[in-house]
Structure 1
Amino acid sequence: MNENRYRVAGMTCGHCVASVTEEVAEVPGVDAVEVDLPDGTVQVRGQDLDDHRIRLAIAEAGYTVTEPVAV
C-alpha cells in the first residue's frame, strides 16, 4: 500500500473535509482518505496512487495543494 500526504490551502470546515474526501475517494486506486483540518493536510492511501489525479481531485473540490508532505 502506498501513502501520499498533501498540504492543502483553504480548508476551514466540515464541508471542506467532506468535499475533498468525496472527490479524492473517486480517484482509481485510492482506498482511504484522511483530512486533518487543523493541520491542513490530506493523507491518501491505496495502490498505484496517481499524484496528478489526486491533485486534480483536490482542485475539483475547490482547494489548492500547496506542497507535498513527507510521509
Structure 2
Amino acid sequence: MLKARNGVRYPASVKERAGLLRTEGMTHREIARELGTGTSTVYVWTKGIHITSAQKQAIDARKNKHRMSKFEKNLA
C-alpha cells in the first residue's frame, strides 16, 4: 500500500478482490471490513457490478438476523 497525496493507493489485487467479493453477494460494508478499506472506496471500485435477486435476498436475511439479535439484546 502506497501513501499518495490524496490518501492511500491500494494495489490492483485489492480492487480485484473487492469486485470478486461483490459478485459473490457481499455488501459494500462487509467488503470494506474484510479488506480494511472505506465503504465509499469499495463502492467506487464495485460501482458497475450488479448482484442477483437471490444475493439481495441473502443480504436482507443477514441484515434481518442482525437486527433481531440487536432487538433481543435490548429486551434482555
Normalised by the length of structure 1, the TM-score is 0.30
**Structure having the higher Rg:** 2
More strand, by proportion: 1
Task: Name which structure has the greater RCO, CA cutoff 8 Å, separation 6+.
Answer: 1
Normalised by the length of structure 2, the TM-score is 0.29
More helix, by proportion: 2
